[in-house]
Amino acid sequence: MTQTPVARIAALVSYPVKGCAGSSVPDAVLTPAGIAHDRDFMVIDEDGTFRSQRKDPSMARIRPEVSPDGRRLTLRAPGVQPVGIDVDLDSPRRDITMFGRPYVGIDQGEVVAGWLSEVFGRPSRLVRVPPENDRVTAGLTPGTAGYADGHALLVTSVSSLDLLNERIAERGGEVLPMNRFRPNVVLDGWDEPHLEDRVRSLSVGDAELGYAKLDIRCAVTTVDQATGEKAGPEPLRTLADYRRASKGGVAFGVKFAVVRPGKLSVGDEVTVNSWGESEM
C-alpha cells in the first residue's frame, strides 16, 4: 500500500445514557469497554425493555452529564428542571432486555424514574451496567462493552462524511453533521473516504484498537440530533446507492474493540499497525 497521509483524532464523544445526547470532550480515558462512562446507563420501559431513538427520537434532547469519578449523574431536557442522582452501584440487579437479548442492570431509583416518565409521557426507568459486567462482543477482534449496541467504539472519518455529503447535495438534499452517526472517535487527515474500513489494528495515544466489524446503520441516522425529530430519508437513501455491505444493510463507520486501554486526546496521531480488505 502506498504511504497513507497521517490521520489524527478530530473529535471524541461520549454517550453516558444509551440513546441520549453525546458530549464532546478534549480528552478521554479509554477502558476495555470504551470511553469511560460511555453507555453506562440505559432507559428502559416498565417491562425492562430498552428505549432507543428508533422509537423514541426525542431521547436525543436529553443531555446527560457524569462526574469524572462516575458517581454522580445529571440529566437535562428542554422544558423541565434537571435531575441529579448519586449513582447506585449496590442495589440488587434486575433483568432487562436489549435487542431481545437478556442483560442485567442496577435500577437507579424512583427520582430519576419519575423524571424520565414525565419527559417521555409513559413509565420509564434508568439502569446502570453493573461493575461486574462481563459482556463479550463478537467480531474480528473480540472485546467488551457496556450498553453499546455491539462494540466498545465507533470510529468514523471526516473524508467519509465529505463524500456522503457530496452525494446528498448532488441529489438536492441538505448536508448532514457527523452527529447523525453518533461516533465515539472521528478521524481527520485521510484523503481516501472509508479508509477506516480497511484498518485492522491501530494505535492512538497510548491505546490500541482492533477492528471488529463494519457498522450497519439503522433509522437512528435519520434523527436530527439537535431537535430529536425524524428528518427524512437521509443518510440511508444515499448510502444505499454506494455503501451496501456484502452481508446486508448499508455501512458507515467501523466498530473497534479495545485491545489496550489508555488515554486519548483530540489531536492525537493515529498509527495503523495492520491493514485488511474491506468487507463491503
pTM for the full model?
Answer: 0.96
φ/ψ region of 188 (left if φ > 0, alpha if ψ in -120 to 50, else beta) reads: beta
| Cβ proximity of 88 and 110 under 8 Å | no
pLDDT digits (tens, 9 = 90+) for 164-198: 999 999 999 999 999 999 999 999 999 999 999 99
Position 3 scores a pLDDT of 67
pLDDT of residue 65 exceeding 70 = yes
Amino acid present at 153: L
Q: Scanning the structure block, which residue is given the C-alpha cell 446527560?
A: 64
pLDDT band for position 1 (50/70/90)? Answer: very low
**Helix, coil or strand: residue 100:** coil
Q: String of b and e for 75-104 (b: at least 16 CB within 10 Å)?
A: bbbeeeeebebebbeeeeeeebebeeeebe
Nearest to 144 by CA among 19, 272, 225, 256: 256
Question: Contact, 175 vs 158, CB < 8 A?
Answer: no
Tell whether domain 7-34+137-274 is in CATH 3.40.50.300: no
State pLDDT tens for residues 87-132.
999 999 999 999 999 999 999 999 999 999 999 999 999 999 999 9
> Please, are residues 22 and 64 in contact by the beta-carbon 8 Å criterion?
no
Listed by start position, the domains of the chain span 7-34+137-274, 37-128
Q: What is the pLDDT of residue 2?
A: 55
